[in-house]
Structure 1
């Protein structure tokens, strides 16, 4: 049996993704200190639940259902750094949360606006890749 940690990556809407690098580094050092004290933080894997949206483009509405399935939708990540983490995942799967999404959204939309489907993607990442992930996120958010 391999120990698994739940990695929660959440921040307020207006906080920029650059804050993630020092937070990830701090988390890594805290886990290291906990392991030195023989606490149960010797993870083999971490699991991250990512929030993303799939854009259903208007020009796809005229296509048949069969051809729609083969097309890739545009993905918008709620936390952009999670796109980098996604590339390091050994296992990933996603599901729609359209029916569970908040119904209190306010705004004005045109009939021709593209529709965004709220999704969740579960990522299973080897903890051994965490240092590499921090470096790649640092490169991505500083660009």
Structure 2
């Protein structure tokens, strides 16, 4: 039975945006108790699949997400889910790591690995070594970190997930399990703000130009900026599947401009992972 994780004292109760429909400018906050659990096969399948679909965005349809979830749930002692109503409820966030070398014969992992090779080749030159690390002939032990959370979840839940994962990997290595990673690959997402199609269709006044800020990159996962400090490389990539012209407006949750998401890849050397975990905690204000 999955063991309930102890909550850090500084994150026992966190505020998340409420659903108040009033016109007040101040967002109402609801105090929520967050609890960390190990993945639970009989409960978490659908919740994890939903979060994976959100993580891969438009390209989620390219993968066998059910099989990826089955792999995640086959290693319940590794990784975390974050819930608010006990371990029988659906997860609001999760984090885990998959050994791409160990699962290289699994078709779902093959498809995902080929995707990562393709996207890293079209992304930043700092990711140029990923294709060789992930090639079938490579003996590199690459740990793929998968993590996602609902958009209104506070970032303070992230450092405990990374801390738990680091500790669990260390225990697994001591137990001679295949989690001695030479590299870690983290899949994430970024976005840029673009002019709203709704504004164009309704002949609304054009939003004020933001100049060079129009090209600014924003992070769905703010911890990515801390991970960059310890990374061998990182970069954005375009999704293979593009939504229709109005897709960006469906992602306008908290702003007036449209949102164009992109995939994001971070490569961290295995020896730098613990330092990267500390950087995430410091960056997000965790102890």
Q: TM-score, normalised by structure 2?
A: 0.40
Residue 105 (1) aligns with residue 232 (2): no
Which residue of structure 2 lines up, in the alignment, with residue 121 of structure 1? 264
Residue 16 (1) aligns with residue 16 (2): no
> For residues 41 and 77 of structure 1, what CA distance do their matches in structure 2 show?
28
Kept after mapping to 2: 8 A contact 1:93/1:121: yes
- Equivalent position SS for 1:88: coil
> For residues 177 and 194 of structure 2, what CA distance do their matches in structure 1 show?
46
Kept after mapping to 1: 8 A contact 2:193/2:214: no
Which residue of structure 1 lines up, in the alignment, with residue 227 of structure 2? 85
Question: In the TM superposition, what is the alpha-carbon distance from 1:29 to its structure 2 partner?
Answer: 0.9
Which residue of structure 2 lines up, in the alignment, with residue 63 of structure 1? none
Kept after mapping to 2: 8 A contact 1:45/1:125: yes
- Greater relative contact order, per chain length (Cα 8 Å cut-off, separation 6+): 1
**Number of residue pairs matched?**
130
> For residues 59 and 76 of structure 1, what CA distance do their matches in structure 2 show?
14
> For residues 250 and 257 of structure 2, what CA distance do their matches in structure 1 show?
16
> For residues 284 and 220 of structure 2, what CA distance do their matches in structure 1 show?
14
> For residues 269 and 227 of structure 2, what CA distance do their matches in structure 1 show?
11
Compared with structure 1, are the counterparts of its residues 72 and 92 closer, same or farther at alpha carbon in structure 2 (3 Å cutoff)?
farther
Which residue of structure 2 lines up, in the alignment, with residue 64 of structure 1? none
Question: In the TM superposition, what is the alpha-carbon distance from 1:114 to its structure 2 partner?
Answer: 4.7
Question: In the TM superposition, what is the alpha-carbon distance from 1:35 to its structure 2 partner?
Answer: 0.4
Structure with a larger share of its residues in strand = 1
> For residues 191 and 252 of structure 2, what CA distance do their matches in structure 1 show?
17
Question: In the TM superposition, what is the alpha-carbon distance from 1:115 to its structure 2 partner?
Answer: 4.8
Which residue of structure 1 lines up, in the alignment, with residue 216 of structure 2? 74
Q: Which structure has the greater CA radius of gyration? A: 2
Kept after mapping to 2: 8 A contact 1:84/1:137: yes
Kept after mapping to 2: 8 A contact 1:56/1:74: no
Question: In the TM superposition, what is the alpha-carbon distance from 1:55 to its structure 2 partner?
Answer: 3.4
Which residue of structure 1 lines up, in the alignment, with residue 237 of structure 2? 95
RMSD: 3.0
- Equivalent position SS for 1:142: coil
Kept after mapping to 2: 8 A contact 1:51/1:119: yes
> For residues 106 and 117 of structure 1, what CA distance do their matches in structure 2 show?
8
Superposed counterparts of 1:39-50, under 5 Å:
39-50=177-188
Q: TM-score, normalised by structure 1?
A: 0.75
